[in-house]
Amino acid sequence: MELFRKLDPDGRKAARGAVDRLLATGEATAFAHSDGGNEGRLAHHLRVEDGGRSVVGRTESILPLDGPEAQARDPLTGVRDARSARAWISAQLKAGAGGQPATVLLLLAVSRFDAINAAFGRSTGDAVLQAAARRIERLVDGDGRRRLVARMAGAEFAVLLAAPTSISEGRFLAGQLIEAIGRPFMSGDHVITLGSRVGVVASEPEDDAASLLRRASGALAEAKAADSGPLKVLDAGAASETALGDQLEIDLRRALDQEEIEIRFQPQVSVSTRRIAGVEALARWQHPRFGELGAVTLFNVAERSDYLAQLSDHVQRKAIAEAAAWPEALHGLRLSVNITAADIVRPGFASQFVELVRQSGFAPGRLTVEVTESGLIEDLSAAGNLLAGLREGGLRVAIDDFGTGYSSLAYLKALPLDYLKIDKRLCEDITGSVRDQVVVRSVIDMARSLGLEVIAEGVETEEQLALLAREGCTLFQGFLCSEPIDSAALIALVTDNG
């Protein structure tokens, strides 16, 4: 073909592949190559005519990937901006080859910045966003041609993969990004851990940049609403998870009435003696169709369906009632129950909760109330008043999931606390990550300086426990001792534990 003689070696290789696909399938295909230097690219679209006896095609220019629009940078983070992303998508779609996606788009939303800005100021939020962007770009290894990272708006980033690529490559990279964003960030005396959600889509032949971005936004919206995890991949023919969520919302009212919500207890164990010192009460939904659903799913459904207050009250009452009925062998154990951000702002909650404990017959001095960082930071003044009221009633207070969002020495000093629980994400990599070891050591030292006992969550190995013991951690919780179990299994475990 005359075309082959005009191509450089890379262009000839791409052309041969396109022709091979065309002859093997009979379906129209395309390939692209550089148009000399950095001035742009040419796309060649090929098809078979005359019953397979001839190959015809057309050539078009593609927007230069090194042009001003395609090179535009976000002034805050330094990655490409939304204009650059749209230009890059358009270029890849024009160059797309038949039989595979022209591009795979990951739309990643990094969460918690509103609360971080409110708690620590815009400058801290901007610094963490810049660090998150650098972490994303290092992981993606974006070179602007095979892969590109762009900030679309706020804390939302696009990661674009050029052909040859696949939805599987996008899914794998999305998992890596979620893990990377979940690792702690340090900013002054703050330990900040972000959350993220990702929607992944592959381009289709009829897509333009706008339609591909719309589909990615839809996938991201489903990832934000889903209970099954922070990632949503839209494959061809993929079913929406919205119907499942709607069904669970309908079922929750019945579940509360028909005792489908059960309580499990996960032991909290002394690091030094390995004896069980207490338990945390955790909710489980025994759904007649979907089986056992965990607390995250349960409370997410409750929040969407406006049943959060009813569910929280139900779980607290049931857990305390079960613990009050424990046999004498368990009378030395402490019980920890969780309260939500909604509980914190409920008028009169502290006095009502203390009265619930009194009526149950469970000793207030054995009860710890756990509240998450996010619950505290949403209304610090209300949280301080509530926790003080609970402690006046003889209860102890723990801050749960420390390190998952807004950890700060300043607000820890201002709140009446007894325990600090290190989030499992800070513990899971401590044996292999020097950085995580430094973070955990800093958290434990900070807690001790404030007179707080430390509970490490998610401990699964003896190596993790040995490191935590060396750093001075007091208690641990995790599968190394036991998964969450019912009261009968707890009695047996405590008996065996001595």
Q: Is 231 a domain residue?
A: yes
- Distance in angstroms (rounded) separating the CA atoms of residues 16 and 21: 9
Q: Which two tokens stand for residue 176?
A: 């890596």
Residue 216 belongs to a domain with what CATH number? 3.30.70.270
- Distance in angstroms (rounded) separating the CA atoms of residues 61 and 209: 17
Clarify whether residues 52 and 174 are in a common domain: no
Q: Which residue bears the tokens 């589909």?
A: 215
Give me the helix-helix angle, 349-360 and 380-392, nearest 10°.
30
- When pLDDT is averaged across residues 243-264 and rounded to a whole number, the result is 81
Q: How many CB atoms lie within 10 A of CB 417?
A: 22
- When pLDDT is averaged across residues 408-422 and rounded to a whole number, the result is 80
Clarify whether residues 272 and 382 are in a common domain: yes
Contact, 233 vs 444, CB < 8 A?
Answer: no
Residues 346, 352, 353, 358: what is their CA dihedral angle, to the nearest 10 degrees? 180
Clarify whether residues 311 and 289 are in a common domain: yes
Instruction: Kindly report, residue by residue over 40-99, the tens digit of the pLDDT.
Output: 455 455 555 555 555 555 454 444 445 545 567 888 888 898 888 988 888 888 776 555
Instruction: Kindly report, residue by residue over 149-163, the tens digit of the pLDDT.
Output: 999 988 899 999 888
Clarify whether residues 51 and 101 are in a common domain: no
- Distance in angstroms (rounded) separating the CA atoms of residues 203 and 480: 44
Per the model's pLDDT, the better-predicted residue between 68 and 126 turns out to be: 126
- When pLDDT is averaged across residues 4-26 and rounded to a whole number, the result is 59
Q: Which residue in 154, 33, 147, 32 sits closest to 89, CA to CA?
A: 147
Q: Is 71 a domain residue?
A: no
Residue 395 has pLDDT above 50, yes or no: yes
- Distance in angstroms (rounded) separating the CA atoms of residues 15 and 120: 55
Per-residue DSSP letters for 391-422?
HHTT-EEEEEEETSS-EEHHHHHHS--SEEEE
Contact, 192 vs 125, CB < 8 A?
Answer: no
Instruction: Kindly report, residue by residue over 94-104, the tens digit of the pLDDT.
Output: 776 555 677 89
Clarify whether residues 14 and 156 are in a common domain: no
Residue 418 has pLDDT above 80, yes or no: yes
* R_g over Cα of the chain: 28
What integer pLDDT is reported at residue 239 of this predicted model?
A: 38
Burial zone of 338 (CB within 10 Å; 0-12 exposed, 13-18 middle, 19+ buried): buried
Clarify whether residues 180 and 139 are in a common domain: yes
Clarify whether residues 398 and 257 are in a common domain: yes
CB-side neighbour CA atoms (13 Å) of 397: 25
Clarify whether residues 316 and 191 are in a common domain: no
Give the domain-ending residue among 223, 240, 257: 240
- When pLDDT is averaged across residues 258-279 and rounded to a whole number, the result is 94
What integer pLDDT is reported at residue 424 of this predicted model?
A: 81
Lowest mean pLDDT among 50-59, 256-265, 364-373: 50-59
Clarify whether residues 96 and 187 are in a common domain: yes
Q: Hey, CA dihedral for 116, 122, 127, 133, is it positive or negative?
A: positive
Sheet holding 80-81, edge to edge: 80-81, 147-153, 156-162, 103-111, 195-202, 231-234
Give the domain-ending residue among 189, 217, 240: 240
Clarify whether residues 283 and 404 are in a common domain: yes
- When pLDDT is averaged across residues 309-337 and rounded to a whole number, the result is 94
What integer pLDDT is reported at residue 132 of this predicted model?
A: 92
Q: Hey, CA dihedral for 352, 357, 359, 365, is it positive or negative?
A: negative
Helix and strand numbers (H, E) in the chain are 19, 21
CB-side neighbour CA atoms (13 Å) of 101: 23
Clarify whether residues 48 and 16 are in a common domain: yes
Contact, 334 vs 278, CB < 8 A?
Answer: yes
- Predicted TM-score (pTM) of this structure: 0.58
- When pLDDT is averaged across residues 399-425 and rounded to a whole number, the result is 76
Residue 333 Ramachandran class (φ > 0 left, ψ -120 to 50 alpha, else beta): beta
Instruction: Kindly report, residue by residue over 195-223, the tens digit of the pLDDT.
Output: 888 989 988 888 888 888 888 888 887 77
Instruction: Kindly report, residue by residue over 232-245, the tens digit of the pLDDT.
Output: 665 543 434 444 56
Grouping H, G, I as helix, E, B as strand and the rest as coil, residue 71 is: coil
Relative to beta strand 29-34, strand 41-49 is antiparallel
What range does the domain containing 452 cover? 244-497
- Distance in angstroms (rounded) separating the CA atoms of residues 130 and 470: 34
Q: Which residue in 286, 290, 288, 308 sits closest to 245, CA to CA?
A: 290
Clarify whether residues 210 and 124 are in a common domain: yes
Residue 316 has pLDDT above 60, yes or no: yes
Question: Which letter, b or e, does each residue of 265-296 get, where b requires 16 or more Cβ atoms within 10 Å of its Cβ?
Answer: bbbbbebeeeebbbbbbbbbbebeeeeebebe
Contacts 24+ apart (CB under 8 A), 151-154: 151/74, 151/76, 151/77, 151/79, 151/80, 151/81, 151/82, 152/82, 152/85, 152/107, 153/82, 154/113
Q: Is 295 a domain residue?
A: yes
What integer pLDDT is reported at residue 241 of this predicted model?
A: 47
- Distance in angstroms (rounded) separating the CA atoms of residues 321 and 165: 56
Q: Is 75 a domain residue?
A: no
Number of domains in the chain: 3
